């Protein structure tokens, strides 16, 4: 997402705003303007924060793939009986929880760009797209008025819905019930708590099976991240036009 034209444009405007309003001498960390921001600057700053939350989430999803496939057993982990299986499940569940958050952040960003006037808590599909019953939300007509925007956002919703059941299992049930991971779970639990030489001899088989699961899931995560970036990029391209028009209007 770093090379996305809209991200680049907002980043350049952020640099200009910092140079124009922040002396860097304040005692508070972070952006601290030395004057009241003008209407167009306030609008930009709100939009930049919305983009930043999406940008950070995408970075975290990319990082999740690295964390997932980079297990290193340390003394501290061994003392806590943390196995490679534990490591993989932890990062898979973390990925699922994060990836399903992208739709809410995109809707909040859209609300900021279009100045729809919704509270963040109301930036939900049933308010801005359609509900489960197909009924349009209070802001849907304004989103449909922007050519291609409804379809672009709905594409992100359909992507996220593919992870919704898994997310709910992780958040509300015992755990994510992935049958293929359960196949190797027993072996990892046993191997972490046994001195049986006959079982220890099978360790290389368990490692091979685990490697295969790891590579398969890693490939799926990489593919999903690419698809999600493509979908977000389509929405960003449309929203940039909306932003430029409103930013120029406020600046005059």
CA atoms of 206 and 98, how far apart (whole Å): 29
Give the count of alpha carbons within 13 A of 4, CB side only: 23
Neighbours of 205 (CB within 10 A): 10
Q: Among candidates 96, 139, 48, 73, which has minimal Cα distance to 228?
A: 96
Which residues lie across from 130 on neighbouring strands?
136
CA atoms of 202 and 218, how far apart (whole Å): 25
CA atoms of 32 and 36, how far apart (whole Å): 10
**Can you list the residues of the chain whose pLDDT is less than 50?**
none
Q: What is the pLDDT of residue 4?
A: 94
170: helix, strand or coil: helix
Residue 125 near residue 171 (C-beta atoms within 8 A): no
130: helix, strand or coil: strand
Backbone phi and psi for residue 117, each to the nearest 5 degrees, phi listed first = 85, 15
Q: What is the pLDDT of residue 174?
A: 62
- Determine if residue 81 is left, alpha or beta; phi over 0 gives left, psi from -120 to 50 gives alpha, anything else beta: left
pTM for this entry: 0.86
Q: What is the pLDDT of residue 74?
A: 82
* Residue whose entry in the numeric block shows the structure tokens 């350049």: 12
Q: What is the pLDDT of residue 158?
A: 96
Q: What is the pLDDT of residue 232?
A: 97
Q: What is the pLDDT of residue 60?
A: 96
The tokens describing 27, both together, are: 């005692």
Residue 199 near residue 191 (C-beta atoms within 8 A): yes
CA atoms of 147 and 55, how far apart (whole Å): 24
């Amino acid at each position: 997402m770093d090379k996305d034209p809209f991200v680049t444009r907002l980043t350049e405007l952020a640099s200009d705003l910092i140079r124009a309003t922040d002396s860097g001498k304040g005692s508070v960390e972070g952006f601290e303007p030395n004057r009241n921001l003008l209407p167009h600057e306030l609008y930009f700053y709100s939009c930049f924060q919305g983009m930043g939350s999406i940008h950070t989430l995408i970075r975290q999803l990319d990082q999740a793939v690295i964390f997932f496939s980079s297990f290193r057993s340390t003394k501290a982990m061994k003392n806590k009986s943390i196995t490679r299986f534990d490591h993989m499940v932890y990062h898979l569940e973390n990925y699922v929880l994060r990836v399903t958050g992208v739709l809410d952040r995109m809707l909040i960003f859209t609300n900021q760009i279009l100045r729809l006037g919704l509270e963040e808590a109301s930036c939900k599909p049933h308010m801005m797209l359609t509900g489960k019953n197909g009924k349009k939300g209070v802001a849907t007509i304004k989103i449909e008025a922007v050519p291609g925007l409804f379809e672009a956002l709905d594409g992100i919703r359909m992507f996220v819905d593919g992870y919704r059941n898994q997310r709910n299992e992780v958040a509300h049930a015992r755990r994510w019930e992935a049958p293929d991971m359960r196949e190797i779970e027993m072996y990892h639990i046993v191997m972490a708590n046994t001195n049986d030489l006959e079982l220890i001899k099978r360790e290389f088989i368990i490692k091979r099976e685990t490697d295969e699961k790891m590579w398969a899931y890693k490939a799926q995560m990489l593919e999903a991240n690419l698809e999600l970036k493509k979908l977000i990029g389509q929405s960003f391209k449309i929203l940039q036009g909306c932003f430029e028009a409103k930013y120029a209007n406020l600046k005059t």
